[in-house]
């Protein structure tokens, strides 16, 4: 550890205001695009904070990007809570949404409320996200009625990708597009404050937008939505697993990290690191005494 960790982000009186649900709704009304990104730890949260994003999602995509699982299915609530708590410590103004992992909310309303409460109480999340329509609509309603804001997520829902035929775009037939639309409208009616549309044709999202009064965040859903979300590791080029076509890469951070560590390794092996500027000194007489006593 080369620096003392901060336990909280310093408050700046002249900085941006914290994002709230009314401010998010106002963004939609004003037609101002909403920026959402995932984060999974303290440094990625600080990056999101400093970059001025509006909403940070501790996505269960962290199962793959930071925990190395092959899909989002295995990640546990405890693992997600640890990631979300670290993100909380690095954030000040963006709205923090915690993703309810697979198996933590589907069984009953009581299970869904208990898990959502843990994200709020233990990790300091402002809201939670759950996937799918169907039985998730009742779970969303129950969590909202328990006083916790819920973000819905329809279209490609990775937790149930197997049932959807794999990681592929949804809503490419009229029937399936109608199912996606029904799910989105049902989640809105259940009280969700926002909804994610993932991997559906841009024209389907565009046609659906006039029916959705809540802020709609797209990922692979075209440009008509109220905002966009990308996975932190995809947009920065940190994760080298499969990247979907909608994941635009804005940097190549992994290559820079590998180059940095490789250069460090080369300097250690060639004894060019550490140099005198990285070493501590001791007064000559103290060193003399130490040598004599040694």
Q: 156-195: buried (b, 16+ CB within 10 Å) or exposed (e) per residue?
A: bbbbeeeebeeeebbbeeeebbebbbebbbbbbebbbbbb
Task: Report CA-CA distances (Å) from 210 to 12, 115, 193, 229.
Answer: 38, 32, 16, 20
Residue whose CB is less far from ligand KIV, 102 or 284: 102
CB of 214 to ligand KIV, least distance (A): 15
**Best CA proximity match to 49, nearest among 16, 14, 85:** 16
| φ/ψ (deg, to 5) at 277 | -70, -10
Give start and end residues of each alpha helix (H) in 99-211.
109-121, 135-145, 174-189, 202-208
* Residue 171 DSSP label: -
CB of 230 to ligand KIV, least distance (A): 8
Residue whose CB is less far from ligand KIV, 56 or 144: 56
Catalytic annotation present for 198:
yes
* Residue 191 DSSP label: T
Residue whose CB is less far from ligand KIV, 116 or 275: 116
> Around Cβ 198, how many Cβ atoms within 10 Å?
22
CB of 60 to ligand KIV, least distance (A): 5
> What does the binding site for ligand KIV look like in residue numbers (CB under 6 A)?
38, 57, 59-61, 99, 153, 196, 219, 229, 231
Q: Which of 26, 79, 131, 198 is catalytic?
A: 198
Residue whose CB is less far from ligand KIV, 57 or 164: 57
CB of 217 to ligand KIV, least distance (A): 7
The span from the first CA to the last CA of the chain, in angstroms, equals: 30
CB of 213 to ligand KIV, least distance (A): 20
Please tell me the distance from the alpha carbon of residue 42 to that of residue 39, in angstroms, as a whole number.
8
Q: Residue 195 in contact with residue 187, Cβ under 8 Å?
A: yes
Q: Tell me how far the alpha carbon of residue 110 is from its chain's centroid.
A: 25
Residue whose CB is less far from ligand KIV, 90 or 152: 152
Q: Which active-site residues does the annotation give?
A: 198
């Amino acid at each position: 550890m080369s620096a003392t960790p901060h336990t909280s982000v310093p408050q700046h009186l002249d900085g941006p205001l914290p994002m709230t649900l009314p401010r998010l709704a106002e963004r939609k009304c004003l037609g101002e695009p909403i920026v959402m990104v995932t984060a999974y730890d303290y440094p990625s949260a600080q990056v999101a904070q400093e970059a001025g994003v509006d909403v940070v999602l501790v996505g269960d995509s962290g199962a793959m990007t930071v925990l190395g699982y092959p899909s989002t299915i295995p990640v546990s609530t405890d693992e997600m809570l640890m990631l979300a708590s670290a993100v909380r410590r690095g954030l000040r103004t963006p709205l923090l949404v915690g993703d309810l992992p697979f198996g933590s909310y589907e069984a009953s309303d009581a299970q869904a409320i208990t898990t959502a409460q843990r994200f709020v109480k233990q990790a300091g999340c402002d809201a939670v996200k759950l996937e799918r329509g169907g039985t998730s609509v009742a779970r969303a309603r129950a969590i909202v009625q328990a006083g916790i804001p819920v973000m819905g997520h329809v279209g490609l829902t990775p937790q149930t990708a197997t049932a959807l035929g794999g990681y592929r775009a949804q809503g490419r037939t009229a029937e399936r597009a109608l199912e996606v639309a029904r799910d989105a409208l049902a989640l809105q009616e259940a009280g969700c404050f926002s909804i994610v549309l993932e991997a559906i044709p841009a024209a389907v999202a565009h046609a659906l937008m006039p029916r959705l009064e809540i802020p709609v965040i797209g990922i692979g859903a075209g440009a008509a939505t109220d905002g966009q979300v990308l996975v932190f590791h995809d947009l920065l080029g940190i994760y080298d697993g499969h990247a979907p076509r909608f994941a635009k890469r804005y940097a190549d951070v992994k290559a820079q990290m590998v180059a940095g560590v490789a250069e460090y390794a080369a300097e250690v092996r060639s004894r060019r690191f550490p140099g005198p500027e990285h070493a501590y000194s001791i007064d000559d007489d103290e060193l003399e005494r130490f040598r004599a006593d040694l």
